[in-house]
Amino acid sequence: MLRHLLAPTLAAAALCAGESAPAPIVSLAVADGPQLTQHWDASLYGRVWSDQGLAWVRKQWGDQKAGWKGEPGFDLDAILSSAKGLRAEFLGMAPGAKPRPRIRVQADLGPQAQALFALMVKRARPDAVAVAGADEARQLDVDGPILARHGTRLVLGFNCDALPWKADAVPVDLRLAMDYRRFMQAIREVMPDGERASFDRTLRDMEPWLGQLLWDSSLVPQGMREVLAYDKPTLGVLAVDRTQLDRFPADALAVAGVGVDMAALWKVAGPGWLDSLDQAMHRGSPVGAEATRQEIDAMLAGLGVAGGLEQLAKDLRGTVVLGVTQGVPFPGASLVAPRSPSLDALVGVGMAALGAQPPADGESAVVPVPNLPIMVSLARDKGHWLLSSDPQLVQAWLGGKPGGFLASAAGKAMLAKAPADACLLGAMDTAAVLRTVSPYASMGLAAAKRMPNEARQAVLAGLARLTREAQPSWIWSANQGKGSRSEAEGPLGMGVAPIAIIAAIAIPNLLESRVTANEAAAGATLRAGIFPAQIQFQAGAYMDQDDDNVGEYGTLGELSGRTRTSRIEAGQLRLLTGPLAQGDSANGYRYRMYLPDGKGAAVSSDAADRTPAKAVAQEQERFFICYAWPLSTETGRRMFALAHDGQLRSLPWDGREPAWNAALPGGWEAQPAWPAHGFGPSPEQDAGPSPDPKALF
């Protein structure tokens, strides 16, 4: 159990560990337990944890700690209150046929040290080991780490002596320091011989920019504050053009921009990139960087990109922006990139491959991405390309007026902290992001059948409290003097956390998306695909069984051209494309079209030729209904219906294929009984007594 509790600390130390080393390559320092407890209680996380809605979870945690205290005798609260000087160091690689990292970890645990030592060695090797100055020491496993107790200090040594060292005080809650040059050298020492030459070239090119990195993190009332300082400048960056960020709307969920000067970065990193491309393109038989460059340049020339790979890289200069805007059913994701002749040519090649043309200046075009349930547009103005799933942003962008993001609370918080020459600027409306995530969280909780209802309520209560108190998150980075500095503040912190949240809300597949995306695709297929196809099919009179020049509605097979009609042979008509051109399933849903049979019921002949019947022509000129239902509960939870009136309707799926009159219990002449899509009961409401997030916000 104790090993599991120490795992996060050891994992962090493993990145970064005897006395024989002049200085650690990477060191990790944690503030004393009382300071951490005080900062936690005053932070956003502490306030959320103390919320009344989490009382059940706190009780479960208290019971767990009480159990540890009784057996195996692990008093977590006492350890945290007495813990001081928690430090970890990576000292390099131990020599030998199988190099191993040399890591040491220590902590002063006061009166708890002896009891914790006894607990940790309870299942260790029975023979003690000698460690200079230690009161007692054991090896925890064969070839495993050595644990030594020096008075009230415990020291773990992985492939090195378990000797204590001086633990200087830290002014923050967590500090990570790394000698980047020595860290890269340590990696080199354990690389296979065949890869070392290429790595050496990269090290040689990067040598002037390998320095000392310091990352500080502290709990603050707003959540977390982080500062990253590096004694070398960031390569290949420019000051962010803030006007590009301000083109996003004031209610955007998150916007981040970086100023890129790829020409400056190519001078340093280009040779290493070519080496990596050579290895990737010619596995086992590299041809060399120059030959690889020529090969790539020839391919680019064939695509109409003049100047080759180097020119393509050098042309990328300006501000690149990633933004997430509010939208239904999914938030809109947008990417802005500065235009260049090389990029323009590549965009043209990409659109041609999708069977489309790039837009002209001041215009936009749909990017026909196969099997994507949301529409993506590409817009072009004089200086930038915009790729976006937010149609409102596309129109506003082409209008040229600022959207007002910099005047929003998130934008103001970012600008208040960032220097004028920042090469990275980002801000997030954290509360809005959490409100967007909460329905997906509720859906996931409802699907967790084994989770106690009290736990579901606690999670949603915590999310609600976090949403109410969350302040905007911001981040900036800039070159300052001979080095660079980055700062961030907010509930989500610096690094991957904001990116992960953005990805989770912008890419449906990361948040129960397959279900939600499939449902959206099914509705869109019925409303924007099948209905227009029916209107065109009837207007063209492709099936006219009574020869009155008024066409009948068609089956799915007829709309897609898979079957013949009374006036056209199979394969000559393509009013439906994509998966439905081949069968009756698409994006996790099955489709069925019904037409009147003249006897008060319906026929469906999607896979076979329809036998002309004048007796039913009049009704088939007026009525049709098409259903879409999930292949399984893993691909969707709602079934949809679209009839001749063009209104999309839906209900939660009951696990069965809908009968032809499921939405028309009164027959073809009656008004459909299913509610319009968006106004019926939700899947969560039909699933039973699961938490409703709307009641919490």
- Which residues are bridge partners to 177 per DSSP? 27, 214
Tell me which residue of 538, 640, 533, 629 sits closest to 590, measured CA to CA.
Answer: 629
Per-position b or e across 205-224, b if 16+ CB within 10 A of its CB: bbeeebbebebbbbbbebbb
**pLDDT top residue among 451 and 279:** 451
Q: What are the tokens at 32?
A: 């004393």
User: Do residues 660 and 601 make contact, with C-beta atoms less than 8 angstroms apart?
Assistant: yes
First to last CA, the chain: 38
3 state DSSP class of 370: coil
Residue 505 — pLDDT band, cuts 50, 70, 90? very low
Lowest mean pLDDT among 122-131, 138-147, 551-560, 576-585: 122-131
Say yes or no to pLDDT of 400 above 70.
yes
pLDDT of residue 415: 96
Tell me which residue of 511, 515, 555 sits closest to 653, measured CA to CA.
Answer: 515
- Compute the average pLDDT of residues 209-228: 92
- Alpha carbons 504 and 651: distance in angstroms, whole number: 27
- Alpha carbons 109 and 103: distance in angstroms, whole number: 20
- Alpha carbons 693 and 644: distance in angstroms, whole number: 36
Tell me which residue of 243, 244, 242, 238 sits closest to 261, measured CA to CA.
Answer: 238
Residues in the chain: 697
pLDDT of residue 688: 37
- pTM here is 0.66
pLDDT of residue 414: 95
Tell me which residue of 403, 461, 424, 430 sits closest to 224, measured CA to CA.
Answer: 430
3 state DSSP class of 381: coil
Residue 19 — pLDDT band, cuts 50, 70, 90? very low
Residue 240: CA atoms inside 13 Å, Cβ hemisphere, count?
A: 28
Residue with the two structure tokens 């479960």: 60
- Compute the average pLDDT of residues 572-600: 87
- Alpha carbons 326 and 131: distance in angstroms, whole number: 61
Q: Which residues does 435 contact at the CB level (< 8 Å), separation at least 6?
A: 467, 697
pLDDT of residue 413: 94
What percent of the chain is modeled with pLDDT above 70?
88
pLDDT of residue 56: 92
Q: Which residues does 491 contact at the CB level (< 8 Å), separation at least 6?
A: 44, 45, 222, 223, 224, 430, 466, 470, 471, 473
Say yes or no to pLDDT of 684 above 70.
no
pLDDT in tens, 264-315: 888 878 887 888 788 778 876 788 888 988 988 898 888 888 888 888 888 8
**pLDDT top residue among 327 and 170:** 170
Q: Which residues does 497 contact at the CB level (< 8 Å), separation at least 6?
A: none
pLDDT of residue 570: 73
CA 639 to chain CA mean position, Å = 28
Bridging pattern class, strands 585-586 and 589-596 = antiparallel
Write a three-state SS string for 280-312.
HHCCCCCCCHHHHHHHHHHHHHHCCCCCHHHHH
pLDDT of residue 494: 55
**pLDDT top residue among 472 and 13:** 472
Say yes or no to pLDDT of 335 above 80.
yes
pLDDT in tens, 101-117: 899 999 999 999 998 99
Say yes or no to pLDDT of 512 above 50.
no
Residue 125 — pLDDT band, cuts 50, 70, 90? low
Residue 150 — pLDDT band, cuts 50, 70, 90? very high
- Alpha carbons 697 and 688: distance in angstroms, whole number: 21
pLDDT of residue 252: 95
- Compute the average pLDDT of residues 86-113: 88
pLDDT of residue 468: 93
- Compute the average pLDDT of residues 603-624: 79
Residue 97 — pLDDT band, cuts 50, 70, 90? low
Mean pLDDT across the chain, nearest whole number? Answer: 84
3 state DSSP class of 29: strand
